[in-house]
Structure 1
Amino acid sequence: MLSRLLALTLFVPLLAQAACTRPLRVPFEDWRPYSFMADGRHTGLETELLAAVAKEAGCRLSYVREVPRNRRLPMLLAGELDLLIAATPVPEPGAWYTRPYRDEVLGVFMRADEARMDVRSLDELLRAGLRLVTHRGPASVAIINDFRARGLLTWFEEYAKGVQLMQLGRGDVLLGDSVAIAFAARAADVPLIELPITLLRDPVTYKLSRKSLTEADLRAFNRAIQHLEASGELQRIRARWLGQAGLKR
C-alpha cells in the first residue's frame, strides 16, 4: 500500500506539468488564405499548420468567433485566450513565443499594365507621386508615414478591399502580406504583379498566454514544430497553400 501511495504522490507533479490539459482557445479570423470557412469547414494555411502542430503536441483547439482584432492581445494577456497565430516576438511579460513556424513576407504590387519592374524602393514610387494602398498591419514600414504626409495613402482592413481599390484605380501601389494579396487578386481575377522591392521577410511564431498556459505547453509546441520541420510536414503544408496563391517560395 505504501509503495502505491508513493507512486501516486510522484505522479501528481507530472500531471500538474502535463501539456494542453484542455482545448486551447484561439480567435477565429477570416483572413484568406490563412484562415477562413469553406463549405462549412474551417481551413487555410494557418489553420492547417496549427492543426498539425497542435496534434503533434497532443493538444486540442477551440476556435473562438467574433473576437475584435484590438481585443485579442488584451484577452490573451488576461488568460481569456490561449494562443495567437503569426506573432512577431517583442518584449511582452504576459506571453511566451514559440519557435518560428513560417516566414511573413511583405510585398509591393502594381496593376499588370502599369507595373514598374525597374524600381527597387518605395521611395522611388513616392517621388513619382503614386498613391499607396496598404493594410493597417505593416504600419511599421517607416516610409508609409511619408506617403501619408503627402496625402498619398489609403488604408484598408480586408485584402479583398485592397485589391478592389486597385481595380477601381483608387490606388497605384498595393503593399501588404504577399500571400494574402496574391490570393485575393487571383480570387477577384485582378492582374497584379509583385515588384522586385525587398521590404520585410521575418519569421513568425505562436504567442502563448502566460496566464492560462504553462512552460510545459510551450515546450510541447516547440518540440512539435521542431519535429514537423524535420519531417518536412510543415514545408508540405506551406508549399501547397503558397502554390494555390500563385506564389513559389
Structure 2
Amino acid sequence: MSFGIPFFPQEASSEAGRIDALFYTLLAFSAVLGLALAGLVVGYAVKYRVGSKADRTGKRSRSLPLEMSWTIASLVIAFIFFGWGAALFVRRDHPPADALEISGLGKQWMWEFRQPGGQREINELHVPVGKAVVVSLAAQDVIHSFYVPAFRIKQDAVPGRTTHIWFIATQPGRYHLFCAQYCGTQHSEMGGWVIAMAPEQYAAWLNSQGEGETLAASGEKLFRALGCSGCHGASSKVRA
C-alpha cells in the first residue's frame, strides 16, 4: 500500500532509467552497509552491556590485511559510483547534434517558451516523442529552475546568461513542470506542463499555431531599432 506516495515515480524520458539505476544502487548499497553497521553496534551493546558475563580479558588485535582489504574495497566502490555519476553528468551536457532547440524564459512567475518557428507558449511546452529536445533557458529577473520530475531533469535559468538542458520524451502524456528555485512570493504557483506528443500530432499542433516571430527576427529588430546596425551592419560605412 503506497498511501499515494510515488515510491517508484514515472519514467518518461530516455535518461530517467539511467538516473534511477544509479540512485537505487546507491540506496541499496547504503542500506546494506547501514544495516550491517547498526547490527554490529546493537550486537556489541547487548553483548557488553553492564552486568553481562561477556569475556573482557582479550587483548586488542589488529589485522593489517583485513584493514587494507576494506580500505581498498571502499576506494574501489567509491570510484565506481563516481565514474557512473560522472558519465551521466557529462552525457547531460552533450545533446545529439540534430536536437530540436526551444527557447525558454523564466520570469516572476511564469514560463514562456518559443518554438523554432516562433510559436509561443505560456506555462506549457509541446515536444515530440522520440526526438531530442534542447531547452535553452534564460531568466528575466531572478534565478529560476526548470524541473520536470518524470524526466529526471533540472536546470537553473540564470539572469544574464543562457543555460541548456536536453531530454528525449519516451511516452506521450502531460508531465508536471516546476520551478525548483525559490524565486519570490508566488514561487509555489510557478508551474506548468510539458506535453509530449507523437511526432505527427506535434507537427499538426505546430501548423495549427501558425508562425510567430523567431528569436533571430526579434534580435534583428532590436539590432536596427537601437542603432547597432550603424556600426555593425554589413553595409555600414562607420566601423566600431
User: What is the TM-score when the length of structure 1 is the normalising length?
Assistant: 0.23
User: What is the TM-score when the length of structure 2 is the normalising length?
Assistant: 0.23
Structure with more contact order per residue of length (Cα contacts < 8 Å, sep ≥ 6)? 1
